Structure 1
Amino acid sequence: MKLFGLLLASILFVSVCSAKVGKLQRANGLSKDDFATVLEHVESNLPKVWNTLTSIRENGVNVRLTSERKMGPGKAAGTDQIVISTFFLTNDLPKFPEDRLVIVLLHEFGHILHNRETERGQRNPVKHEFFAFAYSIKMAIKLAENGDSGPLDQVIKNLKIRNKSGKPKDPHTIAIKELIKTPLWTNATAALEGD
């Protein structure tokens, strides 16, 4: 598992050398005790998620844990914050195994990177989602090349499902439909099949 952490840290490292390390923060409504319990649970039971969170924080992103679920498992905010629902971290959810949670975190970090590269007024929801999905796929391919195909399996499986069942006008669905026509998608599916 240490190898996964080192690999992930090297993969996620972007040109943010001067950035300070982001903090793990507690959102309003989450008690200090619950916050500590969640952190302990993730570190002990979800080592890939813990390593991904650590690598993201090392790129200057604050990670705020919330007990709210209405936003889904995670959401990026601005250029330096990701909000994660503790519900998805602490419950054994068949639709959200650890490898999918890694992809969620990578996707949200992709949004952060896109926000850092794009002026607020120039942001387009479909391009934003495309960038975030593409980033998570690229990182999953790198993980697979280094022996862990779990995240790649999850991203391919779930994007195929969303491609078929997503709302046609949703920026996520539009971005996925564009993404599956790219060489990146072809490379991702080939990398998984070759595993």
Structure 2
Amino acid sequence: MRQALQKSGGRVNAVNDRRFVSDRHFSVPPRPGWFHSCAARANFVLSPQFNMRLWIKYWLPVLAWMAMIFIASTRMLSADQTSRIIGPVLRFFFPDIEDAAIQSVQFAFRKAAHATEYAVLALLVWRARVKPSRGDHRPWSWNEAGIAFAVSLAYAISDEIHQNYVPSRQGMASDVVIDAAGAAAALLLLRALAGWRNRQAGLRPASARD
């Protein structure tokens, strides 16, 4: 009788051991993939750690400026439309100005506007990522500047592609170069300004980090 109970008890223990191994096997978490990564990001946005006030303060200006650039790439601010403003203004101040001179001024104005648009965009993206504050003397990060430049360049390329589908507009690779130059110039100027402020404050100049 005792031997029978020991045998039956051994069977029960063996079954329990197999169930434990089976449960432990199925409890192993799967490797994080693309779906899990996206879900983690969504959970962060919806979690209490997400600060809507900071998002509005830093990222809403970026999106608003991108929207303005998008609108400027429509027929609303095409060369035909801007010539109706620039031409009369120049003729008001310079009645004897020639048409060729007006076209040259308009060309220079439009290209300068290109550079300015993306200079502002690069600064806004840098501001949104770094979140500088008054009296902030953190070392300069070329990584953050590179990200701001890359975002500006990518949007400049998409903007020229968009213009190819707008009547009276034409996307040009040369405009992308001008946009990139404006973004780079703004970030380099910001780097110089950061070093100057640190020197004025008597601190060690901001070192190139990363």
Flag the structure with more relative contact order, 1 or 2, with Cα contacts below 8 A and sequence separation at least 6.
Answer: 2
Q: TM-score, normalised by structure 1?
A: 0.30
Q: For the pair shown, which has the larger CA radius of gyration, 1 or 2?
A: 2
Q: TM-score, normalised by structure 2?
A: 0.28
Give the structure with the higher percent strand: 1
